[in-house]
Structure 1
């Protein structure tokens, strides 16, 4: 279900270029040879996706190159005149400065200069535009990682460069490097002997570089508890501490772990270090994932802290028998806006819905043969870099993505309610506006029996509307319903979950305007405090039914004198006028919107009015015009969604428009009965949420009822309110002398 889509492969994207440019050793025939996998290695991935790699060049040299994924071109950055073991490297955005750290030992373990003692690791700053000077930044006995801070793409370039130097003695230094341009092209470091340095973090146990957001996360120990800190770096000024948050995690780790600071091919991550990763996105969500130490081989525990929801969820997985010899650490993978994956090869794959984690059935837990990710092989070391996955041994980089076909097949073949619901929401939300996918989901729902746990049609409607409105603005995520479920008491085989409320994170004194993420995260955290007051306007259906009943009674007494009622109808007419422009008659299989259904118009107008009132209470700052647009689109999408469901039902069973023309001697079509049954389910789903239906729905529904049901059953359905007599239906029935009803 989850697959790795290749983005970069050194053997395909780099090796041919090296051979063509004769940048590798020559063979006996004076031809450039292709480098071996051990000689061609990825060492870092920069903010814009550029990949830094190293290889063995001509005459025993060590070369550093860069691959630009946007124009798919390679460039040679620097050549060492001897073979050096490269620990880490980073290049600034203008590609004028290169920072590297190297081991000062040969492959035989001897110092490169055997006549004097040397430090184990040497960190250099090299001017490469053109190649001018080299400055030693650090000479220590511990490994060092280097990372340039990259300015935002839409910001102008400043004469300052900022470099992070991360030592394994648990110290992170920030170095400010000013450059000058001489002779129009020579980029030189200004005052290289007096570079400004300061310490941004020390005595930490774990650190992660957020490449996209240019943030430094690190964990320190306070009274045996782990505290997560975050420093934000800016393109045009210094940096500041913006987050301090106690993880509630008792620390037993002894070794340091560095995440997203490139990959050191001369050192493997220790299982004694903290396996933790932080994922963020533009909508202001922050998920902190970490695995607990393994206590036994029968179960495994991991937690995810959702700062934007104020929860910590701890999962315990019962490990099934598999072909794996040992239990390794799970990998945490970010796979887009909605999900974080926890993957332990050979055991389980857990897709956690980080936007809606309140119910376990909104996440998808897979085990056994379903829990596979191709081409992930658990024996190879795979490194998760934010939303990318790096195969360090083969030099390949991937993007984790859901396979639509596999997801839909799983959804179709699943027998458990929890799997069906999670897979459907995953397909609706993650696969976005794919009409073919939505059609497959609707066809699948037609073949399923009615569930007593939830209404799949309701879930499909609300999930589809939620996805569309979120694409307009992130502010809607807690104000509009994602699901009709308020609670779920079921169990998911193989996994248990416990939820606890966490303390609120402490932000810096000022949320900067330049960082949308921090403003959104702060908004999410603040909204957690007010969750009890966030009631969706149509969830209180009894109140809305009372208002609608009063309106309909006033309508019968004096329609023209009732100003409120006239406003309600005007709201509905605006929506329906847009329906007519959005849906051409040729695209419609079922002829909705061809009559005035006053009851549905009241519901449409009432929904518009109450939804605007609801949003104005919380989003007044975005303006009335924007709210009007959001509400009108929401209601319009609702009517279109119901129309699409019925259209797909009719397509599935091959019904044509002539089914709406009654004839006394015509044989009953079995497909019409199935369509009638499905339209009844759609009607129940809409009425259960007090949602309006497209005008004409009840007329078409009762015509199918006349075609399919015996007279006594038809009358019984009318008495029960399942079928509604409409003015158009009764008029056509009377005009046809009770023998023919045409819908034209």
Structure 2
């Protein structure tokens, strides 16, 4: 609860400003209209000993209180309504024998007209016009319409005519006409802002044919099917049915026999105005943007037949939210709830901002459902511990706040804002170990709260307290995808905004969550059939809530781009990837710059993405972003992502189940380029964050790269290696490019952290990529003794031929001469050209004093002479590197391994 306001104090102040009266008591909210609330209170006038009931109206826009009627006695009002010009009052009185009586009173005539009475719950509600009527004659008459509800009986649409006198007073000039519009309803709700009536009725279903015993078909009646309908009212046009949904209510939702309390107990809460008993708990939430939620609460106990339930027994407390604009149903079951608690707690459904629905029962559960129109629902958060609020707060869904939920406690007249804060999300992250819930929390912080500092703190806490948690990799994947989406959608051109719905958003799955709180999501079949299409409306194609809802339910969004699809292709193509054999690639990245190199275009793209705000996960990478290979693997991954994403955007925008529009190649290329650049920037940010989680920060250590690794202690190096290994796994699983310089840094870190057999195993499985700079650092750290030389030779055998030859040329050890000479002779004998590398001369020992004379014989024919004769028969003297062969021969006779 973030803020709280006492309406009683506010009403007293408004009443004192209006009537200079301050002795009011027992304030009560009787109803809600489009522009304010209908109130009642008790006060005394003059010398009267007994207080009497008054009715007034609080205008929320102008913040004033208008006194409408004084009864002169105490009245038990349970509900009231006023027309738009505040000249008529309709109210419901509950008598001592639980009889509901409905009255209509003119403000100026002070005369009560009893409309109806009912032993079941009843209410009255005025219809409000969108536009004020225009009067052209002196005899000004006004027709007012109002609804009368009588539970389990009917709903009538009534009309009365008002005339205006010379002193600007309105009085009733005709009798009330009535027309039944709904019969035998079990539940009804009125939406004052949309001027819509929702109700549940039982409709007979057609019988079905079944084959009998003698091959004769007979008609078998079907049980009646309850359905939810909506009537939309207009100023001058008849009302129309815009929604008709069959309700598939779970079995066993009625209160079981054995618990105390009447079976048809009514709840006297006029905000929002609902007419029903406790056999059906339903709430409808709609807004003008085309969002519609059908919220149903029920209890089932998993026992067959009519079984008596004791207060100490446990039942299943459940609810469902049908998001019509998403064509899906979200179901939740809280198991093992004491029956006494379950039957005395009602869940509250209220809009939390524009993109969330907050569902909570005080001290039992609090759920933040991500069901807005921004993207498809999947990241629902379970808040732990649950909120503690008044028992029966009334949601004010028609007045949503920017980030929070507005509630009204009718018993204490306290209006408060419920807000799921960042601290509550952080506490839930630490309290709940569910991987899906933690992914949903990261999604909320990244996409909706844009709080990267809290994300950084949570990841540091996770690494420190749960270092061996196997779900950390999935959280890192959510960080990569979520950060890339947030960066890419920051400054998208308006013409390309529809393409955002196809970009990767999250790694969360829609699979059911198991446990005490069981949450699942189901798709509905063709929700658009339950709505009235725009061409079938009274005024065809006039935009309102229901046409927007029909558009959202009728069209299914295209499938989002999956990074795993690119990862599967890279698994095959990278087998043939040889960096030393490729030249630097060129790929178009800028829409207006033509063809440019990725290495030069990406820094500009990343720099432009940072201009929208401060850099996320602000710290420096623990290595230099540079590579010495001729063709960077990062460029290759970026090029594949760019190609695949561009094709997916083009197909999804024009050929998918929901064609967005016909985009130009510039739109597709701009969005694809921005997202690929955001992928690289997200990779850099997450890499920095994970290094900080391991306790490695460049600002504290000063050095980067290999020098930084050498300065770390053993525990710090191990922690850093674990985080970098998880980062590499997640990046490869999602086909995200890693920063330049990471592969060499990670390889050297593995060399300094792992035992030598494990390091070789990682290298053989291509986890470590041994570039020239990493090999030089490793060779420099090893000794030139027998074991060190053996390790170096083992590494050289794992390298590609071109890279191994390059390292051998720079290794000044005698064994390198032997390997180079053998390769030189092999090339000559196989008939391939083997031009001499004159850079090798400076690395050899001085052998001019010995030469071939080192191998004397009687006939001057040594084994070396014979071998040289064999080589000269295969190649010319210009291709023969005699000094290298001689040096290798001399070295083979020496014991150079100590």
| TM-score in terms of structure 2 length | 0.63
CA contact (8 A) 1:56 1:62 kept: yes
Distance verdict in 2 for CA 1:416–1:697, change over 3 Å = same
Unaligned 5+ segments in structure 1 are 25-31, 112-118, 127-131, 740-744
Contact 1:284 1:517 in 2 (8 A): yes
What does 1:469-480 align with in structure 2 at a 5 Å threshold? 479-480=502-503
Alignment of 1:609-688 (within 5 A): 609-617=646-654, 618=656, 619-621=659-661, 623-624=663-664, 631-652=672-693, 653=695, 655-656=697-698, 658-663=702-707, 666-669=710-713, 670-671=715-716, 673-688=718-733
1:442 and 2:466 equivalent? no
CA contact (8 A) 1:345 1:372 kept: yes
The residue that corresponds to 2:123 in the other structure is 144
Contact 2:40 2:53 in 1 (8 A): yes
- In structure 2, how many angstroms separate the alpha carbons of the residues matched to 1:432 and 1:665? 36
Aligned with 2:227: secondary structure? strand
Whether contact under 8 Å (1:311, 1:501) holds in the other structure is yes
Q: Is 2:39 the partner of 1:53? A: yes
CA contact (8 A) 2:265 2:277 kept: no
**Residue 453 of structure 2: SS of its match in structure 1?**
helix
Residue 692 of structure 1 is matched in structure 2 by 737
Cα 1:211–1:709 shift into 2, 3 Å: farther
Match of 2:388 among 364, 374, 378: 374
Distance in 1 separating the partners of 2:154 and 2:670: 51
Instruction: Please report the RMSD computed on the Cα atoms of aligned residues, expressed in angstroms.
Output: 5.3
Q: C-alpha separation between the residues in 2 aligned to 1:108 and 1:664?
A: 84
Matched-pair contact (CA < 8 Å) for 1:97–1:125: no
Asked if the contact 1:538–1:544 (Cα under 8 Å) also holds between the matched residues in 2, the reply is: no
Q: Structure 1 CA distance, aligned partners of 2:544 and 2:767?
A: 49
* Alignment of structure 1 residues 381-392 onto 2, 5 Å: 381-386=392-397, 388-392=406-410
Query: Which structure's residues are more often strand, by fraction?
Result: 1
Separation of aligned partners in 1, 2:677 and 2:96: 72
From 10, 16, 20, give the equivalent of 1:13: 10
For residues 324 and 252 of structure 1, the distance between their equivalents in structure 2, rounded to whole angstroms, comes to 16
Please report how far the alpha carbon of residue 688 of structure 1 lies from its aligned counterpart in structure 2 after TM superposition: 0.7
Distance 1:676 1:626 in 2: 41
**Within 5 A, what are the aligned runs for 1:187-198?**
193=174
2:8 partner SS: helix
8 Å CA contact 2:360–2:366 kept in 1: the answer is: yes
Query: Do 1:340 and 1:351's aligned partners in 2 also have CA atoms closer than 8 Å?
Result: yes
Larger Rg: 2
| 3-state SS of paired residue (1:14) | helix
Deviation string, structure 1 residues 421-473 (Cα, Å, up to 9, x no partner):
454445555x5212333223332443443426971111333345567889989
1:168 to 133, 137, 150: 150
| Structure 2 contact 295–349 (Cα < 8 Å) conserved | yes
Q: 2:79 aligns with which of 83, 88, 106?
A: 88
In structure 2, relative to structure 1, the CA distance for the partners of 1:231 and 1:704 (3 Å cut) is farther
| Cα 1:526/1:103, change in 2 over 3 Å | closer
| Bigger Cα displacement from structure 2, 681-690 vs 640-649 | 640-649
Aligned partner of residue 561 in structure 2, secondary structure:
coil
Contact 1:668/1:707 (<8 A) preserved: no
Do the aligned partners of residues 662 and 425 (structure 1) sit closer, same or farther apart at CA in structure 2, a change above 3 Å counting? closer
- In structure 2, relative to structure 1, the CA distance for the partners of 1:481 and 1:363 (3 Å cut) is same
Change (3 A) 1:678 1:350: same
Question: Residue 65 of structure 2 is aligned with which of 53, 63, 75?
Answer: 75
Q: Cα offset for 1:240?
A: 2.9
Q: Which of 547, 553, 556 is the equivalent residue of 1:525?
A: 553
In 2, Cα distance between equivalents of 1:70 and 1:615: 45
Residue 461 (structure 1) aligned with residue 480 (structure 2): yes
How far apart, in 1, do the equivalents of 2:7 and 2:614 lie?
51
Deviation readout 1:377-434 (Å, 9 max, x if unpaired): x4xx4334436433221112333332432331221133344554454445555x5212
Shift of 1:476: 7.3
2:149, 2:275 within 8 Å by CA — same for their partners in 1? no
User: Which residue of structure 2 aligns with residue 397 of structure 1?
Assistant: 415
Distance in 1 of aligned mates of 2:3 and 2:29: 15
Q: Is the 8 A contact 1:324 1:346 kept in 2?
A: no
Deviates more, 1:622-631 or 1:557-566: 557-566
Tell me the distance in 2 between the aligned counterparts of 1:85 and 1:315: 39
How far apart are 1:488 and its partner, in Å?
A: 4.7
SS in structure 1 at match of 2:767 = coil
Aligned-pair CA distance for 1:640: 3.9
Taking the TM superposition and a 5 Å limit, the aligned residue runs for 1:592-607 are: 597-606=634-643
Structure 2: runs of 5 or more not aligned: 46-50, 135-141, 205-223, 256-262, 302-308, 398-404, 627-631, 784-898
Residue deviations 1:478-536 (CA, integer Å, cap 9, x gap): 745454355757621354869685564422132665546545543443455xx8x8363
Contact conserved, 1:62 with 1:82, CA < 8 A, in 2? Answer: yes
Q: Which residue of 2 aligns with 1:41?
A: 28
Quote the offset at 1:567 in angstroms: 7.7
Equivalences for residues 111-510 of structure 1 within 5 A: 120-124=101-105, 126=107, 139-142=115-118, 143-149=122-128, 151=130, 159=134, 163-168=145-150, 170-174=153-157, 193=174, 200-223=181-204, 224-233=224-233, 239-249=239-249, 262=271, 271-280=277-286, 284-292=290-298, 295=301, 296=309, 297-304=313-320, 305-312=322-329, 315-320=332-337, 324=341, 327-337=344-354, 339-345=356-362, 347-354=364-371, 362-364=379-381, 370=384, 372-376=386-390, 378=391, 381-386=392-397, 388-428=406-446, 432-447=449-464, 448=466, 449-451=468-470, 455-463=474-482, 479-484=502-507, 486=509, 488=511, 491-493=514-516, 495=518, 504=527, 505-510=529-534
Q: Is the 8 A contact 1:205 1:257 kept in 2?
A: no
Q: Is the 8 A contact 2:188 2:275 kept in 1?
A: no
Shift of 1:125: 5.5
Cα 1:213–1:486 shift into 2, 3 Å: same
How far is 1:298 from its partner?
Answer: 1.6
- For this pair of structures, how many residues does the alignment match? 688
For 2:96 and 2:462, locate their aligned partners in 1 and report how far apart those are by CA, in whole Å: 65
